[in-house]
Amino acid sequence: MTSLSKRYGSERVALKDINLAFGKGLFGLLGPNGAGKSTLMQIMATVMPPTGGTVEYGSYRIGKNDHEIRRILGYLPQRLGLYDKLTGEEFLNYIALLKGMKDSAARRIKVLEMLERVNLQDKARRKIKTYSGGMKQRIGIAQALIGDPQVMIVDEPTAGLDPEERIRFRDLLEELGLERTILISTHIVADIETSCNALAVMNKGEMVYQGTIPQLLKKV
């Protein structure tokens, strides 16, 4: 991405001249609340346009090739939305339908595969509102994985998880990061310390550091 900026209204500057590049593997986006992480991720996920600058995925550019980008992208927003009354299976079936999978038999296979991938096959027929925090995040990953994205954007995935769920969730992301690019935002260093290949640190809408974790720790 190049010189990305975002203002909310005429006053609040949420992003200032952000430049960022990343390849395959896990990439951490670290920063306190209000740093601009969610804003950056929403722009990258084509949910919201930037005020200035651009984001490119290969030859695709946001604002111009959004349709194509959504096909190669999986996004887990900070709050998954209002699907609590659906079962895990119904929810994933619905997302598969939204992604354009018209064949119901193919959808069933895909949904089962995703449920197994995040180890929720036993909870397929339970309503999402009965899931634990960790289970909700895993169904969130499952929906982001439908369509086999090359890039996943995961916003504060460990918020509200207990320590054990945190570790399991991190292991899942590490496994998924072997095959694709995953961008994870967090305000907790421990979440990304051992698993991310590289990280960027944001504060007040600015990118204050980019590099590896050992390099960062040497600096402080």
Q: Which residues bind ligand ADP (CB under 6 A)?
A: 8, 12, 14, 31, 33-39, 78
User: What phi-psi label fits residue 3: left (phi over 0), alpha (psi between -120 and 50 degrees) or beta?
Assistant: left
For ligand ADP, the closer CB: 65 or 78: 78
- Type of residue found at 172: L
Sheet strands side by side (includes 52-54): 12-18, 2-8, 52-54
For ligand ADP, the closer CB: 90 or 206: 206
Tokens of 86: 């659906």
Nearest approach in angstroms of CB 189 to ligand ADP is 15
Nearest approach in angstroms of CB 61 to ligand ADP is 22
For ligand ADP, the closer CB: 12 or 129: 12
Nearest approach in angstroms of CB 33 to ligand ADP is 4
Q: What span, in angstroms and rounded, lies between the C-alpha atoms of 42 and 44?
A: 5
Q: What span, in angstroms and rounded, lies between the C-alpha atoms of 205 and 17?
A: 9
Say if residues 94 and 86 touch (Cβ distance below 8 Å): yes
Nearest approach in angstroms of CB 67 to ligand ADP is 23
Tokens of 72: 């190669």
Nearest approach in angstroms of CB 65 to ligand ADP is 24
For ligand ADP, the closer CB: 39 or 87: 39
Strand ranges for 9-150 from DSSP E? 12-18, 25-30, 52-54, 56-57, 60-61, 73-76
For ligand ADP, the closer CB: 9 or 23: 9
